[in-house]
Structure formats: C-alpha cells, structure tokens
Chain A
Amino acid sequence: MSKTENNLARKLPEIPIDDDGPVFAEPWQAQAFAMTLKLHEKGAFTWPEWADALGGELKAAGEHDSVDNYYLHWLRALEKLLDQKNIVQNDEREDCKAAWDKAARATPHGNTIVLGT
C-alpha cells in the first residue's frame, strides 16, 4: 500500500486497515490457513464446499463481528467440515487436544513439548 493510500485508508472508521499487505496476527492462523489449502490439494473437499463452510460461519457471526475473529471462524469451519467428511472426527480431535494440553503442562518452559505416544 502506498503511503498516500495508507493515510487515506486510515480515515476509515469501520473497515480495519493493515499497514502493508496481508498479515497473520498469530502463528496458528497461518497454520490453519495452510492446512486448508493442503487439504484441498489432497482432494479432501472442493473449494466451493470450503467457501460454503467458511461463509456459513461468517454469516452466523453477523455483520458486527470483529475481523479479529476471522481465523477463529476459519478454524471452526475447518473442524466442522473435516468432521462431516469423516477425515478428523470431533472425538479424536478432542482427545488429541487434551493430550497436547497435558504434554504442555508437563513441560518446563523453554523445553521441547513432545506429545506422549
């Protein structure tokens, strides 16, 4: 974005503006994004199916939702779609999440967190 554009865009009261191009606010957002593209490449779902899934989550969130939540909706849409497709079911996802939580809590800071097998 040019400086001029940037300054002008900053006047917008409602549309959030970034400084320069796309950003992921946190690493997990990039991971969720990349997993979705790779899953599509693998044929796990079609792109229209994905657009519907994400569009559904965004629509449910409503017009006044903050764009900060965008990737949270993205992640939820991905979880739901994978469960529907029987690729990753909700139960196993919850179990795996609990295992990571346990592993993290058992690991001192600065050390590698290893998922118990």
Chain B
Amino acid sequence: MVRERPGVRISPAAPATKLLATRRVWGQNKWMTDHHHNHDEGSELSDTALRVRALETLLVDKGYVDPAALDELIDTYENKVGPRNGAAVIANAWTDEEYRQRLLTNATAAIAELDFVGRQGEHMVAVENTEKTHNMIVCTLCSCYPWPVLGLPPIWYKSPPYRSRVVIDPRGVLADFGVTVPENTEVRVWDSTAEVRYLVIPQRPAGTEGWSKAKLAELVTRNSMIGTGTAISPDELET
C-alpha cells in the first residue's frame, strides 16, 4: 500500500501500485523509503517518482525551490484552505448587503478583505445564483479554479467529461449531480482562464433568517460554489 505522507491525503481509490512511498529527509538530498518489498536487494522507484525526484533535485540545486517550502505549501492547500474560505465569503455576502455588493463589483478586493489572497494573482469574479439565473464554472482548457477560496479542485472538475459536457449540456450535467433547475431559469456556464476565476454565490436557503455567519457557512458546500450543487437546506443539515 501507499503510505500517507504528512499533509497529503491518499485517495482510498489509489491502486496498490508497486510505487515505493518515500518521504524526504528534511533539507537534505535524501529520501527515506517507507515501504518494504519482498526482496532484500535494492529499492525500486517508479519511473514517474524518479522523474519528479530528478526535477526537484535540480530545482533545489538551482535555487528555484526549497524542499521545506514545498511541504508547507502542500499542507496549506490540503488542510488549511479547502472550500471553508469560500464558505466564509458566501456567508458574509448573505448577511451583509454592502459586502455582497462589493463582492459582485470587485470580487478580488472583497475576498482580499477576508485575507484570502491568491498566489497566481487571479482576478476573481463572483456570479450570483438567483431565481432567474443559475451559474456554473468550468475550465475547458485545463483546470483553472479559484484556489484561494476553494482549495484544490475536486477530481471530477479536472476530468475531460466534465470539462466538455458542461458546455454542451449544462442541464444534463446538473441533472447528473441531482440539481434540477426550473425551465425558465437561465443556466450560464463561465469558462475560467489563467487570468479570471469565477466563484458562484449560491442562493441562501429559506428558513435561515437570523442565523450567524458561522452557522450559515456550514450550509455552503464546495459544489454549491462551483454551481454543480446548491447550498444545504436547514433540514438537510440536521439529518
């Protein structure tokens, strides 16, 4: 089996490959093997693992990357960002009309107010779901995604079927995700680029009047901010 390294979640679906799990010895050009084999002789690394290791070794030597900083970055994206940042933004917009206006007018600045700043200098655009319009986001080119607010994209977001189908048949994709949009509601699909990333503001569920921001944020799912889902209703939250 592939052992988990700190800060990296290993998908349970990951095949038990012959890949040798390794971890770096801090600050040195050394790697520990965490895994045992049937044989007593030398270790074997997968071709891909060797490629990554070679690249990292050279980039460290050339001063482009610092091994400890790489681990910190992975940890940040895996454990500290996630969609919670986005949920806080949405809860703020639901409860503070002035913030909502700022978010719709200049999302980059409004998100920065909450100290969620991107690393790629992304220009953020917030699109609001209403009775009239349902928004969805995709990146047909690769998988540009609003990382500062949603963390890393889900696997399906990166998949060729999603990237192509959402443009051709957005309602069909929504139906696959269990979301039904009324016929007279327009469905808009926003194609992210390296420069512009979109964030969907889902509709605030009914029956949440007077709720705190923290409690409202619990209703905001990652998918609701991509547009492939809706916010959780108070009933669903209790179940």
Residues of A bordering B, CB below 8 Å: 1-2, 4-5, 8-9, 11-12, 14-19, 21-28, 30-35, 37-42, 44, 46-48, 50-52, 54-55, 58-59, 61-65, 67, 70, 72, 75, 78-79, 82, 87-88, 92-94, 96-97, 99-101, 104-115
Is there an interface contact between B74 and A62, defined as CB atoms closer than 8 Å? Answer: no
Kindly list chain A residues whose C-beta atoms are within 8 Å of the C-beta of B43: 104-105, 107-109, 111, 113
Question: B77 to nearest A CB, angstroms?
Answer: 8
Is there an interface contact between A23 and B32, defined as CB atoms closer than 8 Å? Answer: no
Contact partner of A15 (CB less than 8 A), chosen from B39, B73, B153, B162, is: B162
Question: B109 to nearest A CB, angstroms?
Answer: 19
Q: Is the interface of B mostly helix, strand, loop or mixed?
A: loop
Is there an interface contact between B48 and A88, defined as CB atoms closer than 8 Å? Answer: no
Instruction: Choose among A30, A41, A72, A107 the residue with the greatest number of B CB atoms under 10 Å from its CB.
Output: A30
Is B214's CB within 8 Å of the partner chain A? Answer: no
Contact partner of A5 (CB less than 8 A), chosen from B2, B14, B51, B177, is: B177
Ranked 9 nearest A-B pairs via Cβ: A8-B178, A22-B152, A51-B194, A97-B54, A105-B42, A55-B141, A96-B54, A67-B159, A48-B194
16 example contacts (A-B, Cβ-Cβ < 8 A) are as follows: A24-B11, A30-B78, A31-B56, A34-B65, A39-B65, A42-B64, A54-B142, A63-B164, A67-B155, A67-B158, A75-B48, A97-B54, A105-B42, A108-B41, A115-B29, A115-B30
